[in-house]
Amino acid sequence: MRILVTGGAGFIGANLCRTLTTRPEVDSITVLDDLSSGNVDNLADVGVDFVTGSILDRELLAELMAGVTHVIHLAARPSVPRSLIDPIASHTANATGTLHVLEACRDTKPHVILASSSSVYGDCPEPYKHEDLPTRPLSPYGVSKLATEAYALAYAESFGLPVLPFRFFNVYGPMQAADHAYAAVIPAFVSAALHGRPLPIYGDGNQARDFTYVGSVTHVLADAAVRRVTSRKPVNLAFGTRVSLLRLKDVLETILDRPIETDFLPPRTGDIRESQASSRLLLGLFPAVRPVPLEEGLRLTVTWLEKAMNTNLRNESGPGEGA
């Protein structure tokens, strides 16, 4: 197996590359990333061929596709709030960029796995978001991810491309960026708690999410690649958990063994009240998968961020006297 991972220097991509290197079926891994949100340091000591570049560069994509048997397409412009500020940039990276990737795959037909998002469901009142529900995205980001999966399925039907689109639900874990304006909820919570700041909660805190540890996600992605799993519809990559932000705060307090203050802020435009996946289709395709429980995944995330913070402090302080 010769695998091209787009966006492989990002949070999920870098974790995936580590998982892929443990699979004996994988012969080589090439990462394409423009480093707009990823970091090449995430791939330190990982055996990959790294290429700095954009999925909007069609010549580069065509060059990299030679000999590739699998493409795992994770490159995207993330974040609902970012898409509200610049919808065209989100569309260009997510929709047009995906179209370029699929076109590059059209002739050689590698197995293609793509990342979509639970945001395509919008604020659907159904308690479990299953793949047969109508899609009603509330943000330009959600629309761009809906286009991502729709293009993939259209290329499967039109050109015989073997594809597997996944809808990710609130993935979290090590290497996820924390201290920026568009940080996801778990890294934002963990970073605030470790720095002694109140947790920022937009709304009343009762909004619920289906949090998925990144190790569970990368295990499924790697297995899907090895077994060349395909689907004629998008597949939720989450396990049907429902955790409110207030409950998440309670779990974090248990892990840190101390109370944590909160800062309640106005609700954000485009945010979804309830997000909980039906995992029926996922478990039908991957019956052996077992998700990492929230408390275990959160402990691993806290441990990683504490270590990263300590490393940054040492680097900022520089060598001591006599060093």
- Give the model confidence (pLDDT) of 186-223 as tens digits: 999 999 999 999 998 998 999 889 999 999 999 999 99
Query: Residue 287, exposed/middle/buried by CB under 10 A (0-12, 13-18, 19+)?
Result: exposed
pLDDT the model gives residue 322: 36
Q: Which of 56, 81, 97 is nearest to 141 (CA)?
A: 81
Which pTM value belongs to this model?
0.92
The mean-pLDDT minimum among 272-276, 284-288, 301-305, 312-316 falls in 312-316
pLDDT digits (tens, 9 = 90+) for 31-59: 999 999 899 999 999 999 999 999 999 99
pLDDT digits (tens, 9 = 90+) for 146-159: 999 999 999 999 99
Starting from the edge strand earliest in sequence, which strands make up the sheet with 163-168, in order? 49-52, 28-33, 2-6, 70-73, 111-117, 163-168, 235-237
Distance CA 114, CA 98 (A): 9
Cβ contacts of 160 within 8 Å, gap of 6 or more:
109
> Max Cα separation, the chain?
68
Could you give all domains of the chain from N- to C-terminal order, each with its CATH number?
Answer: 2-170+212-239+275-291 (3.40.50.720)
CA distances from 211 to 146, 167, 247, 286 (A): 20, 13, 12, 19
One-letter amino acid of 135: T
